[in-house]
Amino acid sequence: PRSILQWNVGSYRDISHESLSLFRLLEPQIEIVVLGTGDRVERLHPAMLKQMRECGIAVEVQDTANACATFNFLMSERRMVAAGLIPP
């Protein structure tokens, strides 16, 4: 179902195993998380991305403007998608 949740992340530096755990708790389970890291694409620690993949959730990291577009596209395809968006 469509939901909006408060994600307590102020910048890409705040993205951690703990903050990503929110996406693993959603029901029905999501296929992909689109992360918007602000004005530009920021690298996240590979171990965090690997942990999500091991849980069956792909992660796409983009700048926030492109993350919004990607999220909308995936929603239009009726994919099980979530977005974590940090304002530019």
Q: What is the CATH number of the domain that holds 32?
A: 3.40.1230.10
User: Is 1 a domain residue?
Assistant: no
In this structure, the chain runs to a length of 88
Before 28, cis peptide (omega within 30)? yes
For residue 21, give its domain range: 12-85
Confidence class of residue 3 from pLDDT cuts 50, 70 and 90?
confident
Q: 0.85 cut: is pTM over it?
A: yes
Total domain count for the chain? 1
Q: Which residues contact 83 (CB under 8 A, 6 or more apart)?
A: 33, 34, 35, 36, 67, 68, 71
The per-residue pLDDT for range 12-51, each reduced to its tens digit, is 999 999 999 999 999 899 999 999 999 999 999 999 999 9
